[in-house]
């Protein structure tokens, strides 16, 4: 698979994500997780804004106090806006893998809410929030316009 990807659209997921697409990402690395399909990490060229609440984050086991203060904004009413640069994804369909030349490829997409996950040797799902079924395209494989 090439190193540049684009999230084109979502099949299922929050409306606030759909309105921020398309967005491009740089592939970081692949993780092999014994009990799950192969996962990949990528870094977005532009942050996505994840709108949530303190209550929702706490239910997911996310500690807002541990977040980088440059990437989180907490309102007086408990609303939270996270700037997300890291994503994790895996093929949506069993037996498939993201690959060179993929276009409109379905993946399970998660936001990385604890950036230490990007350096971890194993995947810690507590550092991710699954948000959507999305469609990815390999940018490097696209034919340039004439």
**pLDDT mean over 40-47:** 95
Instruction: Check: pTM over 0.85? Answer yes or no.
Output: yes
User: Alpha carbon of 57 to those of 27, 30, 47: distances in Å?
Assistant: 26, 26, 19
Helices (H), 7-142: 15-18, 54-59
pLDDT in tens, 93-141: 988 888 889 999 999 999 998 888 888 878 888 888 999 999 999 998 7
Specify if 146 maps to a domain: no
pLDDT higher than threshold 90 for residue 38: no
Please give the residue range of the domain that contains residue 121: 4-141
CB atoms within 10 A of CB 53: 14
- Please give the tally of structural domains in the chain: 1
Got the DSSP string for 38-73?
Answer: -EEEEEEEEEEEEEEEHHHHHHTT--GGGS-TTSEE
**Tokens representing 138?**
């390999």
């Amino acid at each position: 698979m090439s190193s540049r990807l684009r999230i084109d659209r979502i099949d299922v997921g929050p409306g606030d994500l759909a309105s921020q697409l398309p967005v491009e990402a740089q592939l970081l690395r692949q993780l092999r997780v014994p009990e799950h399909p192969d996962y990949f990490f990528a870094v977005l060229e532009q942050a996505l804004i994840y709108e949530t609440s303190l209550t929702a984050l706490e239910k997911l086991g996310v500690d807002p106090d541990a977040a980088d203060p440059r990437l989180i904004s907490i309102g007086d009413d408990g609303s939270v806006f996270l700037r997300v640069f890291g994503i994790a994804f895996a093929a949506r369909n069993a037996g498939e893998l993201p690959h060179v030349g993929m276009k409109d490829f379905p993946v399970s997409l998660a936001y990385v809410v604890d950036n230490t996950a990007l350096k971890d040797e194993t995947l810690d799902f507590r550092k991710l929030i699954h948000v959507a079924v999305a469609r990815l395209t390999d940018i490097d494989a696209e034919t340039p316009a004439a």
